[in-house]
DNA sequence: CTTGATGCAAAGTGTTTGCAACTTA
DNA sequence: TAAGTTGCAAACACTTTGCATCAAG
């Protein structure tokens, strides 16, 4: 784990602590474990996977607590929720990362991230044309990745 | 209902009949009713709504049959399934219509459709850059519509 | 008359919630 | 020690499925 990664996790910790304090909520040992696992994970993960990882550190952590903490991590901007259409939500680290969209391989499930400013500009122009104010968007390209074509 | 609409519905009927025949499936009275309601509906509708409409024509039609028929209508290309993130799938007529994307108002739920070729071109270029072959895509812009800003 | 389709209710899936016991601040 | 948090199991919402009966071809 490199320096940047360490720094980001540190940021995540204080962001979450501040978020909880501001809302009069408590930083429990379970929340600490779940935060650590969520921000330490690479790529996209499900609630079920997060539960599994968290249980390795504290076997008493429950599914309910994972879901409740996931909601807080989303609300605080530390995680972002993604729906790739496979019936369950996936999560990824959001804080300190730029917005990006996804290419999803329908065969192997691989997810590739990309940023494309020209597309975003055109999206905004399109929205403006309809008198629409965009808050967030979701662009997913489904198909075959290099290895699955 | 105008001439074009009539023609489209006719197309839907023969498409579905052909589809079923090719697969050795049967065109039942329930399927006829559900097809008619699905292709006659305007805009986006849920399985539950389709069941409600279909029951008006034949009160014995069941939820299970609606879901099973919906799968066939999707497979035959007559309907397209959309997930606007409200916990249930929505459907829209697809046959004979151009591909389009959606603006979704997070306050009133209104859905605006748009076509944007330049965006699609950029998407394909982006995919190509990753050695990715796109089969289909989903672009949704969430925000406030003109009346909800 | 054979094979697929139907309605019903039960099962499934991922997620949320009520509650009594327990921690954090 | 007050107020939020936890684990558990039950509840939820949507969708799917097993099965005996029914109907299309």
Q: Cβ contacts of residue B23 below 8 Å, gap of 6+?
A: none
The residue of chain A nearest to residue B122, with distances taken between CA atoms, is A119
Nearest to B38 by CA among B9, B65, B1: B9
Task: Give me the residue label for tokens 């979701």.
Answer: A138
Band of residue B71 on the pLDDT scale cut at 50, 70, 90: very high
Taking the stretch 115-144 of protein chain B, residues with Cβ within 7 Å of any atom in nucleic acid chain D are none
Structure-block tokens of residue B80: 């397209």
Q: What are φ and ψ of residue A92, in 5° steps?
A: -145, 155
Q: Which nucleotides of strand C are protein-proximal, with an atom < 7 A from a CB?
A: 3-9, 13-18, 23-25
Section B3-32 average pLDDT:
89
Closest by Cβ to B145, choosing from A112, A123, A132: A132
Q: In this model, does residue B93 exceed pLDDT 70?
A: yes
Statement: the CB of B52 is under 7 Å from strand D: no
* pLDDT tens track for B131-144: 999 999 999 999 99
In chain B, domain spans:
3-93, 101-143
- Assess contact for A61 and A54: CB atoms under 8 A: yes
Fold match, B3-93 / B101-143: no
Check if CATH label 3.40.640.10 holds for domain B3-93: no
The enclosing H or E element of B44 equals none
Q: State mean pLDDT over B88-111.
A: 95
The tokens describing B83, both together, are: 């997930």
Measure the CA–CA gap between A15 and B61, rounded to whole angstroms: 53
**A98-148: pLDDT as tens digits:** 999 999 999 999 999 999 999 999 999 999 999 999 999 999 999 999 999
How far apart CA B41 and CA B113 sit, in angstroms, is 16
- Per-residue buried b or exposed e for B134-149, using 16+ beta carbons within 10 Å of the residue's own CB: beebbbbbbbbbeeee
Topology of domain B101-143, CATH:
Dna Ligase; domain 1 (3.30.1490)
pLDDT in tens, A5-50: 677 676 889 999 999 999 999 999 999 999 999 999 999 999 999 9
B20 closest-nt by C1' vs CA: C4
Quickly count helices (H) and strands (E) in chain B.
Answer: 5, 6
Chain D positions with an atom below 7 A of a protein C-beta are: 3-9, 13-18, 23-25
Is A20 within 7 A of strand D by CB distance? yes
Q: For the residues A63-92, what does the mean pLDDT come to?
A: 97
Distance from CA of A97 to the nearest CA of B (A): 20
pLDDT band (50, 70, 90) for residue A2: low
Look at residue A103 and give its three-state secondary structure: strand
């Amino acid at each position: 784990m490199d320096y940047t990664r360490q720094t980001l996790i540190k940021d995540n910790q204080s962001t979450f602590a501040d978020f909880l304090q501001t809302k009069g909520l408590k930083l429990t040992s379970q929340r600490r474990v779940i935060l650590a696992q969520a921000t330490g994970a690479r790529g996209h993960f499900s609630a079920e996977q997060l539960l599994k990882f968290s249980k390795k550190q504290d076997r008493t952590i429950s599914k309910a607590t994972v879901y409740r903490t996931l909601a807080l991590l989303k609300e605080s901007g530390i995680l972002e929720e993604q729906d790739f259409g496979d019936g369950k939500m996936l999560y990824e680290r959001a804080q300190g990362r730029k917005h990006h969209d996804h290419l999803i391989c329908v065969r192997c499930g691989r997810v590739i991230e990309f940023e494309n400013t020209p597309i975003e500009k055109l999206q905004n122009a399109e929205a403006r044309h309809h008198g629409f104010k965009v808050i967030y968007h979701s662009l997913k390209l489904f198909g075959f990745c290099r290895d699955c074509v």
